[in-house]
Structure 1
Amino acid sequence: MRSIIIAAALALSAFTAQAAEPIEGNWKTASGATAQIAPCGGAYCVTLKSGKHNGKQIGKMSGSGDSYKGEITDPETDKTYAGSGSVSGNSLKMRGCVMAVLCKTQTWSRL
C-alpha cells in the first residue's frame, strides 16, 4: 500500500512538472534585469522583478510549446508593440515589431 502511495505521489509530481509551459519561469533580459513569466488570465504575463522598472508588467502572451504571441512594452518608453516569444532550451527570443516590419529581437536566458 505504501509503495502505491509513493508511486502515485511521484506520478503526480512528474505531471505537475510537465504541466508548466516552457515560457514560464524567471529570465535574465538583455538589459540584465530579471523578468518573471507566469500564467495570468489565460495568458502569460511578463513582469520585471529587478532593475529600474521592478514590478512593472511589460508583456502578455498566449501560446504553448515553443511559440507565443501577444504584446510587449518597452519599459523605458512605455511603448507597446506586437510581440512574440520563441523558447529553445534555456533561451527565449523576444521580438517586438511595429507594423510587422520594423522589429527588434532580444535573447533572454533562463535563470
Structure 2
Amino acid sequence: MKKLLPAMLAGAAGLAALAVPALAADPIGGQWVTQDKDAVVTIGDCGGSVCGKITKFLKTPPGGADQRDIHNNDKSLRSRKLMGLPVLTGFRQDGDEWRGEIYDPKSGKTYRSVIQRKGPNKLEVKGCVTVFCQTQVWTRP
C-alpha cells in the first residue's frame, strides 16, 4: 500500500497537468461593445460552437432600429434585421484563442476570425482574408 499511494498521486498529478491546456483560454461569453461603439454583441453557446449576435444598438443605424442586412452579398438575406443578426459564428476553442467566422454587416462580407481575451474587460477580435488581418478591441459595456 505504501508503494501504491505515491504512484496514484503521481498519476493524478499527471492527469491534472493534461487538463490545464483545456482550461487555459478565458471564456469569451457575455456582452461586448464593438470598437466603433455602435452595437453590443452578446456571445454565447450555439449548440456545439460559440456565436455572437447583435443585441443592442448604441448608435441607430442609417435605416433606423429596424435596419435590414442590405449589404449582404446574398440577395436572399438582405431582408434580415440587423438586430439579432449572428455576426460571430462557428467559434471553437483552440488553445487560448477562439476560431470561427465574423460577418461585417457594413460590407456584407464574412471573414475568418480569431478572438482572444486580453484581460477581464477586453476582447481582441480579428477578421482575416488570406494572411491579412484587421484587429479590433471590444470592451465590456
Letter in 2 for 1:47: K
Mapped partners of 1:77, 1:104: distance in 2: 14
TM-score by length of 2: 0.59
Quick one: which of 39, 45, 51 aligns to 1:39?
45
Mapped partners of 2:134, 2:122: distance in 1: 16
Structure 2: tracts of 5 or more residues without a match:
1-25, 62-81
Mapped partners of 1:79, 1:58: distance in 2: 10
Describe how 1:1-111 pairs up with structure 2 within 5 A. 22-32=27-37, 33-51=39-57, 52=61, 53-60=82-89, 61-63=91-93, 66-89=96-119, 90-99=121-130, 101-111=131-141
Structure 1: tracts of 5 or more residues without a match:
1-20
Q: Please report the RMSD computed on the Cα atoms of aligned residues, expressed in angstroms.
A: 1.6
Q: Secondary structure at the match of 1:54?
A: coil
Larger strand percent: 1
Asked which structure has the greater CA Rg, the reply is: 2
What is the aligned residue count?
A: 90
TM-score by length of 1: 0.74
Q: Tell whether the 8 Å contact from 1:22 to 1:66 is kept in structure 2 after alignment.
A: no
Q: How far 1:31 moved relative to its partner?
A: 2.0
| Identical aligned residues as a percent | 38
Structure 1 pair 65/23, CA: closer, same or farther in 2 (3 Å)?
Answer: farther
Q: Secondary structure at the match of 1:37?
A: strand
